[in-house]
């Protein structure tokens, strides 16, 4: 075993960073044995150096992250700051000064992954980011390496723990969205401003990263259709139950039937209770992967939190250190397939639509005509009368999102349709 240690610079020392530092210290012997050389924390860049960090030598702490990544003797930079800047500049500077990088930064990878990979490759360095998607759950490595000899057709994932906690609570207690959100906030599962989670921005970044790797195609955050889950109601859950379904916020990356294009999207959807994703409880994450040869795989675990995310960071750190010792790099960006990324309108799926309609003869015929005119085939219709009004629940066969949108627009113009109470996609069948 080499005795000269590999030097690690840690950018950020919050929930994840402090766990990375702690494990590097407490498990130093194990890490050394697994890497083949000791690893040493050579510097920790933070914004507020006055906050005491248990177990970290104060002499290592600096506010000058740029100087740290420019030192030239750093083997690996671990970036757990998050956000676009200064993380992006620090990472490219690290490559220029000879370091490889391990990052947990989903937003940055989803937005600028291609440029960062190019910068790493230009300098012959590694860029690893298992922690950017679904915390501790091994996903990037299995998709990139274990399935390297297979053809992935679909990735269907619960990749945001906050929203899964809220939806699970609504499902199990009948609570409304706000009540469930309040509980998530009180328990620390949701942040004071939950926008990034509940509006699907966080999941969309992960969808972009997963789609890119799964399909060997560049998929940017802008390519991902995104719909949050703030409009999901207790009534939707009741409808889902009648269908033998529950509701999850899903990140869905799909190869089109012709194999020539792909889509990536995030939205709430009904999935059958028999689907393995339906039983993912609380803040857990799970990702379902369908491939030609391997069939259906599922990866399940804690999708966030300091220790789980640190576990993913450290797995990457060991790999990058090993690569460095053997003078090589791991797999870089694989975008050779360069498939077309289709807009949401081309996505084909099933829909569950609740309409409030006038309770009089002929309404069903009118509604059915609109569906037919737009080429959307109806699977089942259920009519329920309530206080002079009536509701009509339509479940369609598979149709394009564009055709469904056209249908809904036309339905809204019907005099007999008082309102479109909800539209929800049905997935995982």
Catalytic machinery residues? 206
Stretch near its own copies under the rule CB under 8 A, chosen from 200-208, 255-263, 303-311, 351-359: 303-311
Among positions 58, 327, 361, 362, the unique one binding its own copies when judged by CB under 8 A:
327
Binding mask 254-283 for its own copies (x = CB under 8 A): ----------------------x--x----
Closer residue to its own copies, CB minimum distance, 328 or 384: 328
Contact in structure between 375 and 403 (CB atoms under 8 Å): yes
**Least CB distance from residue 250 to its own copies, whole Å?**
17
11 is in an annotated binding site: yes
**Least CB distance from residue 95 to its own copies, whole Å?**
19
Query: d(Cα 100, Cα 320) in Å, to the nearest integer?
Result: 7
**Least CB distance from residue 386 to its own copies, whole Å?**
37
12 is in an annotated binding site: yes
Footprint of its own copies on 101-130 (CB under 8 A): 130
Contact in structure between 244 and 237 (CB atoms under 8 Å): no
Q: In what order do the strands lie in the sheet with 100-103?
A: 61-62, 39-45, 6-11, 76-79, 100-103, 127-128
Query: d(Cα 378, Cα 400) in Å, to the nearest integer?
Result: 13
342 is in an annotated binding site: no
Closer residue to its own copies, CB minimum distance, 299 or 410: 299
103 is in an annotated binding site: no
Does position 236 interact with its own copies (CB under 8 A)? The reply is: no
Instruction: Find the distance separating the first CA and the last CA of the chain, reported in whole Å.
Output: 52
Query: d(Cα 259, Cα 340) in Å, to the nearest integer?
Result: 10
Q: How many residues in the shown chain lie near its own copies by CB under 8 A?
A: 59
36 is in an annotated binding site: no
Query: d(Cα 243, Cα 228) in Å, to the nearest integer?
Result: 22
Contact in structure between 351 and 424 (CB atoms under 8 Å): yes
Closer residue to its own copies, CB minimum distance, 196 or 298: 298
Among positions 18, 291, 354, 407, the unique one binding its own copies when judged by CB under 8 A:
291
Given the DSSP bridges, would you call strands 127-128 and 100-103 parallel, antiparallel or unpaired? parallel
DSSP per-residue letters across 345-414: GG-EEEEEEEEEEESSTTHHHHHHHHHHHTTPPEEEEEEEEETTEEEEEEEE-SEEHHHHHHHHHHHHH-
Interface residues with its own copies (CB under 8 A) are 19, 23, 27, 30-31, 33-34, 130, 135-138, 141-142, 145-151, 216, 276, 279, 291-302, 305, 307-308, 310-319, 322-323, 326-329, 331, 334, 336-337
Please enumerate, by residue number, every residue annotated as part of a binding site for L-homoserine: 191
Please enumerate, by residue number, every residue annotated as part of a binding site for NADPH: 106
């Amino acid at each position: 075993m080499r005795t000269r240690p590999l030097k690690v610079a840690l950018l950020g020392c919050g929930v994840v960073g402090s766990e990375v530092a702690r494990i590097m210290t407490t498990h130093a012997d194990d890490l050394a044995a697994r890497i083949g050389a000791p690893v040493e924390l050579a510097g920790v860049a933070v914004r507020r150096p006055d906050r005491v960090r248990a177990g970290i030598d104060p002499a290592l702490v600096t506010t000058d992250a740029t100087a740290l990544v420019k030192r030239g003797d750093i083997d690996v930079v671990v970036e757990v700051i998050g956000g676009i800047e200064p993380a992006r500049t620090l990472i490219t500077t690290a490559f220029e000064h000879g370091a490889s990088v391990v990052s947990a930064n989903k937003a940055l990878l989803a937005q600028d992954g291609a440029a960062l990979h190019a910068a790493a490759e230009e300098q012959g360095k590694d860029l690893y980011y298992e922690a950017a998607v679904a915390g501790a759950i091994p996903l990037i490595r299995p998709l990139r390496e274990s399935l390297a000899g297979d053809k992935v057709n679909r990735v269907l994932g619960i990749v945001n723990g906050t929203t899964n906690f809220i939806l699970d609570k609504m499902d199990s207690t009948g609570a409304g969205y706000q009540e469930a959100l309040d509980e998530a906030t009180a328990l620390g599962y949701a942040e004071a401003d939950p926008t990034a989670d509940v509006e699907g921005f966080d999941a969309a970044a992960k969808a972009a990263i997963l789609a890119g790797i799964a399909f060997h195609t560049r998929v940017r955050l802008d390519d991902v259709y995104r719909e949050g889950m703030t409009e999901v109601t207790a009534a939707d859950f009741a409808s889902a139950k009648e269908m033998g379904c529950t509701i999850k916020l899903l990140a869905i990356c799909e190869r089109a039937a012709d194999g020539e294009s792909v889509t990536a999207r995030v939205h709430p959807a009904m999935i059958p209770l028999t689907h393995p994703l339906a039983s993912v409880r609380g803040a857990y994450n799970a990702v379902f992967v369908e491939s030609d040869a391997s069939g259906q795989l599922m990866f399940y675990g804690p999708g966030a939190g300091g220790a789980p995310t640190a576990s993913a960071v450290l797995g990457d750190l060991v790999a990058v250190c090993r690569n460095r010792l053997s003078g090589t790099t791991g797999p870089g960006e694989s975008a050779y397939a360069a498939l077309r990324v289709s807009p949401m309108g081309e996505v084909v799926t099933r829909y569950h639509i609740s309409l409030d309609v006038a309770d009089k003869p002929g309404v069903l015929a009118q509604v059915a005509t609109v569906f037919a005119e737009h080429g959307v085939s109806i699977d089942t219709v259920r009519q329920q009368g309530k206080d002079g009004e009536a509701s009509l629940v339509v479940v369609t066969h598979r149709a394009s999102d564009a055709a469904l949108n056209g249908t809904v627009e036309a339905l809204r113009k019907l005099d007999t349709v008082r309102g479109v109470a909800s539209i929800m996609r049905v997935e995982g069948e």
